[in-house]
Amino acid sequence: MIDDPRLAASQPRNLTSGQTAPPATPAIEITGLRKTYAPAGRGAPREALRGIDLTIPAGSIFGLLGPNGAGKSTTINILAGLVRKTEGRVTIWGFDQDVNPRQSRAAIGVMPQELNIDPFLSPRVSLEMQAGLYGVPPRERWTDELLALVGLSDQAEAYSRNLSGGMKRRLLLAKALVHRPQVLVLDEPTAGVDIGLREMLWTNVRRLNAQGMTIILTTHYLEEAQSMCDEIAIIDRGQLVTRASTSDLLAAADRKVLVIDSGGASAPPMPEGVAVSVRDRGRLAFTYAPSQVSADAILEALRLGGVRVRDLSTEEADLEDVFRSFVG
């Protein structure tokens, strides 16, 4: 069920000018969220969300991760008011979606995955119309600033159908910001985009976040989530499997790699739990769980085996390891 964005509240909050401090309440509070899609034809109903509880603190850059079909888009579409939840409670910037639908809608802006742009409107007209739909009075609009922010000032009057795919994405970001939402949701914003657009996006995200905007991000690029997000939730098959700060998740991954240049010597017997592989230029890589085995034990095994260590480096776990440990 698609709701009409014209129902949104007409009170833009001047967050990006730094007027609104984050509230004591979280940016988003989700409790017992369930979504069952009605069956298509004679098929079975599809349970996309099976009881999600999630709190997203104000001011964070929050990553919502999960494999295909996990329920990320369903969650985001419920937050955006585009999909009706089956059960549960959703609060955005302190406003309960069911009690204060207009205020909760006005507090959130969503940059969707799909390029849903009217081909016959220019970026300027698109932004003005979007601002109108959100009830932003003309004197409070920031169309020129937004066009500059996303690097579309030169294309402001062009037909949107003549914009490149990357430019359309820039316009989607600007559209999500017309009503100066406190919470910005980016649904797979960098899927298939070039490096220039990525950089523009991350620069803007960091800038908006520094000004107090809460950012929620879904992405399949885990290195991007690792570098951008303070906190991460992983969902799988409609359920929350973990939620923690990025640094705590990485620390808990319990995986390290010790890489040595042995001058071509092969690996001697290793303590239990150490996996050996060969890297480029014959370097040996020892993967181990720091909670079970110390680097010292590996070096001692090398010494006992008569292997000289010419050079040595270590690698920490990354978000990919964390992700794999939770969703296989």
In the complex, the smallest distance separating the C-beta of residue 66 from ligand ATP, rounded to whole angstroms, is 5
Task: Report the residue number, 37 or 202, with the smaller CB distance to ligand ATP.
Answer: 37
Among 12, 26, 63, 71, the residue binding ligand ATP under the rule CB under 6 A is: 71
Task: Report the residue number, 73 or 155, with the smaller CB distance to ligand ATP.
Answer: 73
- The span from the CA of 305 to the CA of 298, in Å, is 11
Q: Does 13 bind ligand ATP (CB under 6 A)?
A: no
- Interface stretch with ligand ATP, choices 66-74, 161-169, 270-278, 289-297 (CB under 6 A): 66-74
Q: Does 72 bind ligand ATP (CB under 6 A)?
A: yes
Question: Is 313 strand, coil or helix?
Answer: strand
Rg of the chain on CA atoms, in Å: 24
- Interface stretch with ligand ATP, choices 16-24, 63-71, 91-99, 273-281 (CB under 6 A): 63-71
Ranges within 142-171 binding ligand ATP (CB under 6 A): none
Q: Does 48 bind ligand ATP (CB under 6 A)?
A: yes
- The span from the CA of 12 to the CA of 46, in Å, is 36
Q: Does 66 bind ligand ATP (CB under 6 A)?
A: yes
Q: What is the DSSP letter of 187?
A: E
Among 3, 34, 37, 212, the residue binding ligand ATP under the rule CB under 6 A is: 37
Tokens of 24: 């004591």
| Adjacent-strand bridge partners of 235 | 240
Task: Report the residue number, 53 or 254, with the smaller CB distance to ligand ATP.
Answer: 53
Asked if 122 and 171 touch (Cβ cutoff 8 Å), the reply is: no
Pick from 203, 198, 151, 154: which is nearest to 174 by CA? 151
Q: Does 46 bind ligand ATP (CB under 6 A)?
A: yes
Between CA 188 and CA 27, with CA 16 as vertex, the angle to 5 degrees is: 60
Among 74, 122, 143, 219, the residue binding ligand ATP under the rule CB under 6 A is: 74
Q: Does 63 bind ligand ATP (CB under 6 A)?
A: no
In the complex, the smallest distance separating the C-beta of residue 267 from ligand ATP, rounded to whole angstroms, is 39
How far is residue 85 CA from its own chain's centroid? Answer: 21
- Interface stretch with ligand ATP, choices 61-69, 84-92, 147-155, 318-326 (CB under 6 A): 61-69
Q: Does 73 bind ligand ATP (CB under 6 A)?
A: yes
Pick from 182, 210, 186: which is nearest to 197 by CA? 186
Size of residue set near ligand ATP by CB under 6 A: 11
Pick from 222, 223, 217, 185: which is nearest to 93 by CA? 185
Tokens of 179: 């009503």
On the 0-12 / 13-18 / 19+ scale of CB atoms within 10 A, 158 is middle
- The span from the CA of 80 to the CA of 50, in Å, is 19
Task: Report the residue number, 68 or 116, with the smaller CB distance to ligand ATP.
Answer: 68
List residues near ligand ATP by CB under 6 A. Answer: 37, 46, 48, 66, 68-74
